[in-house]
Amino acid sequence: MFQSLLIKNATAILPSGRALTNLLVENGKIVSMDAAPTTIAKEVIDATGLVLFPGLIDDQVHFREPGLTHKEDLHTASRACAAGGVTSFLEMPNTKPAAIDQSLVEDKYRLAAGKSIVNFGFYIGATTTNIESLKYATGVPGIKIFIGSSTGDLLVDDQESLERIFAETRLPICAHCEDETTVRSNQARLGTDLKVSDHSVIRDEAAAVIATRRAIDLAKRHHHRFHVLHVSTAAEIPLITDHANLITAELCPHHWHFNCDDYARLGNLIQMNPSIKTRDDNTRLWQALLEGHIQVIATDHAPHTLEEKKQPYPKSPSGLPAVENYFSLLLDRASRGECTWEQIASWTSDAPARVWGLVGKGRIEIGYDADLVLVDPNEMRTIENSEQFTKSRWSPWAGESLRGFPKQVFVDGRTVFRDGKIVTEQPAARLQFDHTLGGFWKTQDGVGPG
């Protein structure tokens, strides 16, 4: 059946800037941004006073299915995505079993096809022994390497294996960068009488810098596209600034928002890998984002139950839920003049789409998929645990009042969230990837800006 949507009088955030638009969608695609206001459509929305963003793309989430669904699952997580304006996610391979070959990746796609109300994609995980699987993997955004902060087969920190992965594979690579030797040495030095603030001493600046430098060296020597996940310390900024048209990086909300001083207030709730760092790191990482040295914002959404998080350190697990709050954290910063709406759209939509070669995603532009978010930039609301859609039902930002929230969220032109409620449980679509697009540093003519 022919489907159409007209969004009138919206201030749309376009690649070229903001513009007042009458946006017309037909069969899930944007077909006009200057439609006549009298255009007949199945659904007509007057968006006067609202801002229209491209749907957010969170390129780093841990949704726990299969194997750990008491914490989260693909259905509950996708509902949290929709509530937060996220219309597409890329999920990490460290489930149980881990997604380390094509068949296991396809198992996750089959699960999501019946459960996820937003678009979905899944990385393949690297081990020391699955090089052939990595060479021939298809339908994935890229390869994920845990250079530290993992156990079992997903920990890859020996040089020979890393050299082979960077030399012999072709998909983009991303990595968790914390040097395992440094982490273990710091932990041995501190002993067993530990408190949660010691987490940032164990997983210190040096652990991050050593592993990030090592991975970037591999990427440059093998001329392999590489994305640094969750940059946590200002000391990494010089490493990612020299990007050589190969290196991109991302920042997560807990690393710009929280610092070691917050352990006294929030304790294990903000225990993360990589660890939170100092107030100075908060400031300098945000500045690196503004200056373009960091291109992407993602969440590293990694929920645990409150009961698990309240265990005494170090039994408490690392990770926190963030997917449904980070957009409002950014909108609130924009309301205070600390960034612009255009920057938010670039960091959360356009840049991740280009880094990972997502087809038809990341922009409000004719021919693109109608993944859209209508925002009320003036709505004030206090984050409440009871209102969270994630299965874990808590947020480290609970109690904080923010300005700017999603009002209506569209996936392929279909409303999935409106005024605080999920309005459809219809499954969304598997994301498509075209890695010949060249990545973030390539323009359509194949020439990089650097």
Q: Using H for helix, E for strand and C for coil, what is the string for 344-372?
A: HHHHHHHHHHHHHCECCCCCCCCCCECCE
- Per residue in 223-272, pLDDT (tens digit) is 999 999 999 999 999 999 999 999 999 999 999 999 999 999 999 999 99
Name the average pLDDT for the chain. 95
Residue 251 is part of a domain; what is its CATH number? 3.20.20.140
Amino acid type, 337: G
Total of domains in the chain:
1
Tokens for 307, please give them: 């009961």
Kindly state whether residue 221 falls inside one of the protein's structural domains.
yes
Domain that holds residue 205: 55-363
Sign of CA dihedral 385, 387, 389, 391: positive
Kindly state whether residue 328 falls inside one of the protein's structural domains.
yes
Q: Inform me whether the pLDDT recorded for 41 exceeds 90.
A: yes
Kindly state whether residue 378 falls inside one of the protein's structural domains.
no
Q: Is the peptide bond before 66 cis (omega within 30 degrees of 0)?
A: yes
The pTM (predicted TM-score) of the whole model is 0.97
Kindly state whether residue 433 falls inside one of the protein's structural domains.
no
Which uninterrupted H or E stretch holds 105? helix 102-113
Kindly state whether residue 11 falls inside one of the protein's structural domains.
no
Kindly state whether residue 400 falls inside one of the protein's structural domains.
no
> How many CB atoms neighbour CB 308 within 10 A?
16
Compute CA distances 147 → 2, 102, 215, whole Å.
49, 22, 8
- Phi-psi region at 13: left, alpha or beta (left = phi > 0; alpha = psi -120 to 50): beta
Instruction: Write down the pLDDT at residue 449.
Output: 35
Kindly state whether residue 272 falls inside one of the protein's structural domains.
yes
3-state secondary structure of 147: strand
- Per residue in 354-392, pLDDT (tens digit) is 999 999 999 999 999 999 999 999 999 999 999 999 999
Distance CA 58, CA 77 (A): 12
* Residue 285 and residue 251 in contact, taking contact as beta carbons nearer than 8 Å: yes
Kindly state whether residue 244 falls inside one of the protein's structural domains.
yes
